[in-house]
Amino acid sequence: KPEGEKKVAEDEVRLSVQQMNSVAAGKEVVVIDGLHGTEGITVAEFYRFSEDGRRRVTFKGDRCTLVDGSVHKVLYRAATMEGTTRYFDANKASMAGRKVVLWPYGGEDDPNESPWAKAHRAVLGGMIQRNQHLLRCVVCGDPVSEHKALVAEVDEEDVELAVGCVHQRCRRPSLRVLGEIRSELFAEFAVLKDFDYEAWILANRHGPSLISQGPGRDGIAYAAWNAAPTGTGRGTWCVRLDLEDGSSGYATERARVVRLGREGALRYAAEMSGNFEKATKARDPWCYTSDRELCGTYSFIAPRLKPGQRLLKCVKAEAAPFTAAIDVAYSSKRNHYTPLVVLMDLETGRPLHIRGLIPLITDPFQLSTFLENWSAAGIEVPPYAVAVVAEDRDFDMLVASSFERGLQVVIDPLVDMRGTPLRGFVVTPTERLAASNLVEAT
Ligand SMILES: [Zn+2]
């Protein structure tokens, strides 16, 4: 952006899309199923624009109408003769034994250099320039992250002109294929299907989720999930936790200072002080790590300490007025659960579940590790798209709807070859965790 003009985060992370060739706009190269009574396939090259700029060949659905008014079945449409080889390569089996007639344009001039073709090329160039979402499929609107996805022009009767990327699976006979995408990134991470790289980078601007950095990376751990977090309120009070060394922490939920009304804060503080006392008497006091990362009972935190972390005993809790300074010092900007990715079942459009659980992955670039692990246990993953879960509130909706469908949600699940869970975070409602004493930290 020019100096002085406001920049938004989106500008910083735009994937660069480089146009390698100029768009050929002057010809229609059409693969037609039977033409002039033949049984074979005709590859015909037509002059696209007439002298007054009107289209000489028009398209609708899988039909084209030629200058003489005859209507034919279209198998493929491209900007160049070479472009149609893609179709023949992909359909070798069904083409076997069929006669192919080539009917090239016979004129001396180059249709791509006609004034109308040049004007149309400029129009398409402008549309590509202005498109903020160049890596979205112009047919279905979903992200494109496919090496060799098509670049095509939508140019049909009664349909608005459009140009951009198209999933291989979204191609229709009348799409005018201009070329294809080449991307080393997309080729290397081919398992990241329909993945929105830009959205993932933006979702990571405050760093990875707290849960992915937390303890319990080995074995099965439980990720407490509260359907209605209290910390989202705008109360003017909060709860201060006084620690044994004279410093303090604040009651947090999902790593944000909990904001309550005055009454609520007083009640919450009294309850917590009571818990501290009881726990101390039971020789399992509530503690905070010196870097304020974890809070919980001694028996829960002690085994999870990282090198350099010390434990500070919680002495008492007190209601205190909430200030912006407290928020800055004690709330994390990071999300608790997100960013994550979820696999969406292409067939149903809903989160994909395997053996009754919905897997979520904290690092999409490790997805192939998980797919290989599941496959070794005989778990077949149907066609999917990789969707970004950017914010905790998206995660909440996903978890709530999964529980409604009777499915478990597990973060980074790995299984043994019999399919028995080996590792992962099982997302579990806070009430159920409290009832079963699985974990006491929040
Ligand atoms: Zn598509």
pLDDT in tens, 224-279: 888 766 556 788 999 999 999 999 989 888 778 889 999 999 999 999 999 999 99
Q: What is the pLDDT of residues 379-427, one digit of tens each?
A: 999 999 999 999 888 999 999 999 999 999 999 999 999 888 888 989 9
Higher confidence at residue 36 or residue 183?
Answer: 183
Q: Which domain does 439 fall in, by range?
A: 189-228+334-442
Residue 151 CA to ligand 1 center (angstroms) comes to 11
Q: How far is the CA of 182 from the centre of ligand 1 (A)?
A: 17
How far does residue 141's CA lie from ligand 1's centre (Å)?
A: 6
Of 376, 338, 340, 343, residue with least CA distance to 357: 343
In single-letter form, the type of residue at position 198 comes to: E
Best CA proximity match to 395, nearest among 409, 382, 381: 409
- Give the pLDDT mean for 7-32: 75
Tell me the sheet residues that pair with 65: 58, 71
Count other C-beta atoms under 10 Å from residue 17's C-beta: 14
How high is the pLDDT of residue 307?
80
3 pLDDT tier (thresholds 50, 70, 90)? low
Q: Given 321, 348, 379, which residue is the final one in a domain?
A: 321
Which of 162, 182, 202 finishes a domain? 182
**188 three-class SS:** helix
> Which class for 211: exposed (0-12), middle (13-18), buried (19 or more C-beta within 10 A)?
buried
Main-chain phi, psi angles of 225, to 5 degrees: -130, 125
Alpha-carbon distance 99 to 22, whole Å? 32
Q: How far is the CA of 362 from the centre of ligand 1 (A)?
A: 25
- Token pair 């692990």 is at which residue? 373
- Does the pLDDT value for residue 176 go beyond 80? yes
Task: List pLDDT tens digits, range 56-67.
Answer: 999 999 999 999
Per the domain annotation, does 22 fall within a domain?
no
* Domain assignment of residue 110, yes or no: yes
Does residue 296 sit in the same domain as residue 195?
A: no
Domain total in the chain: 3
pLDDT averaged over the chain?
Answer: 87
Span from the CA of 144 to the centroid of ligand 1 (angstroms): 7
Hey, how many other C-beta atoms are within 10 angstroms of the C-beta on 103? 15
User: What does the DSSP assignment read for 375-411?
Assistant: HHTTPPPPSEEEEEE-SHHHHHHHHHHHHHTT-EEEE
Q: Cα separation of 75 and 341, whole Å? A: 37
Q: Residue 10 domain-assigned?
A: no
* Count of alpha carbons within 13 angstroms of residue 42, beta-carbon side: 17
Residues 159 and 198 in one domain: no
The tens digit of pLDDT for each residue in 267-292 reads 999 999 999 999 999 999 998 887 77
The answer to whether residue 15 is domain-embedded is: no
Q: How far is the CA of 169 from the centre of ligand 1 (A)?
A: 7
Task: Report the alpha-carbon distance of residue 442 to residue 430 in Å, rounded.
Answer: 9
Name 283's Cβ contacts closer than 8 Å, sequence gap at least 6.
none
Whether 208 is in a domain gets the answer yes
Task: Report if residue 11 sits inside a domain.
Answer: no
HSE, side-chain direction, 13 A CA sphere, residue 117? 20
Question: Stretch 156-166: mean pLDDT, rounded?
Answer: 94
Output the CA–CA distances (angstroms, integers) from residue 173 to 73, 74, 152, 160, 399, in the order listed: 9, 6, 11, 17, 40
Percent of the chain surpassing pLDDT 70:
90
Predicted pLDDT at 5:
64
| Residue-wise burial string across 161-177, b where 16 or more C-beta atoms lie within 10 A, e elsewhere | ebbbbbbeebbbbbbbb
Helix (H) or strand (E) holding 375: helix 367-376
Instruction: Say what the pLDDT of residue 347 is.
Output: 93
Asked whether residue 5 is domain-assigned, the answer is no
- Range scoring the smallest mean pLDDT among 90-104, 186-200, 342-356: 90-104
Same domain flag for 49 and 165 = yes
- Same domain flag for 284 and 360: no
One domain, residues 302 and 338: no
Quote the ligand 1 centre to 306 CA distance (angstroms).
Answer: 46
DSSP state of 246: S
Whether residue 151 is found in the same domain as residue 177? yes
Q: Contact at 8 Å (CB) between 154 and 173?
A: no
Position 232 scores a pLDDT of: 62
Report CA(55)–ligand 1 centroid distance (Å): 26
Q: Which two tokens stand for residue 58?
A: 């028009």
Question: Same structural domain for residues 359 and 435?
Answer: yes
**Domain check: are 315 and 390 in the same one?**
no
**Ligand 1 center from residue 353 Cα (angstroms):** 22
Mark whether 273 and 372 lie in a shared domain.
no
**Res 440: pLDDT:** 38
351 and 316 within one domain: no
Give the pLDDT of residue 309: 81
Q: If you measure from the C-alpha of residue 219 to the centroid of ligand 1, how many angstroms do you get, rounded to a whole number?
A: 39
Q: Are residues 393 and 288 in the same domain?
A: no
174 and 127 Cβ atoms separated by less than 8 Å = no
| Beta bridge mates, 238 | 320
User: Measured in angstroms, how far is the CA atom of residue 106 from the centroid of ligand 1?
Assistant: 35
Give the Å distance between the CA of 62 and the centre of ligand 1: 18
Domain stop point among 294, 321, 348: 321
**Ligand 1 centroid to residue 421 C-alpha, Å:** 35
Residue 143 CA, ligand 1 centroid: distance in Å = 8
Per-residue pLDDT at 441: 39
Flag whether 174 is in a domain. yes
What is the distance between the alpha carbons of residues 178 and 124, in angstroms, rounded to a whole number? 11
Distance CA 297, CA 308 (A): 19
Give the distance, in angstroms, between the CA of residue 7 and the centroid of all CA atoms in the same chain: 23
Output the CA 178–ligand 1 centroid distance in Å.
Answer: 16
Tokens of 387: 């969707």
Query: If you measure from the C-alpha of residue 45 to the centroid of ligand 1, how many angstroms do you get, rounded to a whole number?
Result: 27
Terminal-residue alpha carbon distance, the chain: 43
How far away, in angstroms, is 163 Cα from ligand 1 center?
13
Clarify whether residues 364 and 386 are in a common domain.
yes
Residue 332 Cα to ligand 1 midpoint, Å, equals 37
Q: What is the pLDDT of residue 439?
A: 43
